[in-house]
């Protein structure tokens, strides 16, 4: 399968690459230049850069929306520009990019949103981040009514160093291993998992 993945600087990218690269044709979008395989350079926070992307006649079998930014601040401690950055990348960029890709997908293309338990939990100092996650979750729900092959993965905090020192987790939020998250992607791609929303 031909798979397009955003957010290839993130912790999940390395694990996805290791799991999928030998079996599928991987394409990626990142703001940082890459010499590794099929690559589109784009800062997904910028509307103009998304509009300049040119995928030619390439048809993708799977889209994985993995790009996102994570900040936890007391609401009144930050400038509005910082909150706009969260909303642009986490909420607007998947919508804009998916619209841009409308001629590069077909009725069998799977659309997978790598999202977060934060779309379903309330956490201190994260109101704008939580709003971005909640908004895209409902976008995915609505899209599911039009495009049947839509999936959203909501992992708990993943067991990496990424979140250490950034937030204090509620007692009822536990961590999950990276391999467990990647396994769900593989199950969806291989037609073994058909649930729309998967909480891990």
Q: Which domains does the chain have, with CATH numbers?
A: 2-199 (3.40.50.720)
Report the candidate in 121, 97, 106, 115 with the shortest Cα–Cα distance to residue 58: 106
pLDDT band at 199 (very low <50, low <70, confident <90, very high): confident
Whether 154 shows a pLDDT value over 60: the answer reads yes
Q: What is the pTM of this model?
A: 0.86
Among 50-54, 125-129, 175-179, the range with the most confident prediction by mean pLDDT is 50-54
The phi and psi torsions of 63 (rounded to 5 degrees) equal: -115, 125
| CA atoms within a 13 Å half-sphere pointing along the CA-CB vector of 149 | 16
Q: Place 89 in a pLDDT band, splitting at 50, 70 and 90.
A: very high
């Amino acid at each position: 399968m031909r798979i397009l993945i955003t957010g290839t600087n993130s912790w999940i990218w390395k694990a996805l690459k290791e799991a999928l690269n030998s079996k599928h044709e991987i394409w990626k979008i990142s703001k940082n230049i890459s010499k590794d395989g099929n690559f589109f350079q784009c800062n997904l926070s910028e509307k103009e850069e998304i509009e300049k992307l040119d995928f030619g006649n390439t048809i993708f079998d799977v889209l994985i929306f993995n790009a996102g930014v994570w900040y936890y601040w007391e609401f009144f401690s930050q400038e509005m520009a910082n909150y706009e950055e969260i909303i642009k990348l986490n909420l607007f960029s998947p919508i804009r990019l998916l619209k841009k890709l409308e001629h590069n997908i077909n009725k069998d293309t799977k659309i997978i949103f790598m999202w977060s338990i934060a779309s379903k939990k309330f956490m201190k100092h994260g109101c704008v981040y939580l709003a971005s996650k909640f908004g895209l979750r409902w976008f995915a729900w609505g899209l599911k009514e039009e495009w049947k092959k839509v999936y959203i993965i909501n992992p708990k905090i993943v067991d990496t160093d990424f979140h250490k020192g950034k937030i204090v987790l509620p007692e009822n939020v536990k961590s999950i291993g990276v391999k467990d998250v990647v396994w769900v992607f593989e199950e969806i791609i291989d037609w073994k998992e058909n649930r729309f929303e998967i909480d891990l």
